[in-house]
Structure 1
Amino acid sequence: MAKIICIDDDRDIIDSCKMTFESKGHTVESARGGNEGYEKAKSFKPDLIILDVMMDDNTDGFHTAYKFREEASLKYVPILMLTSINQISKLKFNKKSDAEFLPVDEFIEKPIRPDKLIEVTNKLLSLKKEQINVDGSNK
């Protein structure tokens, strides 16, 4: 099964992620901020990163996502941005219109139903597996 790290400052979101993914047999690590998540991810070597935007500041998740993309061991790990920024901010982000700006593979608004979260996660994990099978490397 997959190794997933959930980075969010909301303990309820972290607990929900752990319960949802562990019930499906995945191993879950968590962090409450971008810097902590980045350091844990380097040693945990996740198959998927779930990342909030607004943690230590309103753009912490964006900065952390860019750090992941610059880190050789994490640059090809799929990132699911799970956030409520569009509900709180006047700025409206979405994966289709902001693909060049957002260094993430999927952008989902909170709240999300567990079955939908599993569906999106499975899609991202499948894409990673296909990348590995195509070029033989573990990107």
Structure 2
Amino acid sequence: MRNKKILIIDDDPDIVEAMRMPLEANGYNVISASSGKDGLQRAKEEVPDLIILDVMMENDTAGFHVAYELKSEEPDSEYKDCRNIPILMITAISQKKGMSFSPDNDDTFLPVDGFIEKPVQPKDLLERAAEYLAVKE
């Protein structure tokens, strides 16, 4: 079985590295992008097996826009090869803005497969990655 490819889209290099280390130690091939725009480009070029996406990057809603683009149902979307890739959204928005999200309540509002709060614990990250990658198979 080939190594599963995970794209991390986050503007904080320390967060990216903190997630990269346990993922790579568990055999995942990790690529990253530091902005929503770069993340969209990497997703289109690499077509990863899982995307881990930060909410707040260039602005407070950059991650939302990336998720909408990647999951677009438009037939001519340049990201049509990415629409079935699971997205795990990481966020500190509840700490910074007092907002919270739940896949049970927000799946129609926001096209992501799950949410995980920062700071991300390696054990939680690995469990969620394995869960979403197993569903994709």
Residue of structure 2 equivalent to 1:28: 30
Matched, 1:90 2:92: no
Partner of 1:79: 87
Partner of 1:17: 19
Query: Of residues 32, 43, 46 in structure 2, which corresponds to 1:44?
Result: 46
Residue segments in structure 1 that go unaligned for 5+ positions in a row: 130-139
CA-CA distance at 1:64 after TM superposition: 0.3
| Structure 2: gaps (5+ residues) | 73-78
Alignment partners' CA distance in 2, 1:5 and 1:20: 14
Aligned residues: 129
Structure 2 counterpart of 1:3, which letter? K
How far is 1:91 from its partner? 2.6
Q: Which moved more, 1:75-84 or 1:95-104?
A: 95-104
Cα distance in 1 for partners of 2:85, 2:125 equals 17
Q: Tell me by how many angstroms 1:25 deviates.
A: 1.2
Corresponding residue SS for 2:68: helix
Q: Tell me by how many angstroms 1:12 deviates.
A: 0.8
Deviations 1:102-136 (A, max 9, x none): 1100111111210110001100001101xxxxxxx
Q: CA deviation at 1:35?
A: 0.5
Give the superposition deviation at 1:97.
1.3
One-letter code of the match for 2:5?
K
Q: Cα deviation per residue 1:66-122 (whole Å; 9 max; x = unaligned)?
A: 111122100000000011011111332222111110110011111121011000110
Separation in 1, partners of 2:57, 2:81 = 24
- 1:133 counterpart residue number: none
Aligned mates of 1:26, 1:97 — CA distance in 2? 30
What RMSD in Å do the two structures reach over aligned CA positions?
A: 0.9
Amino acid at match of 1:99: D
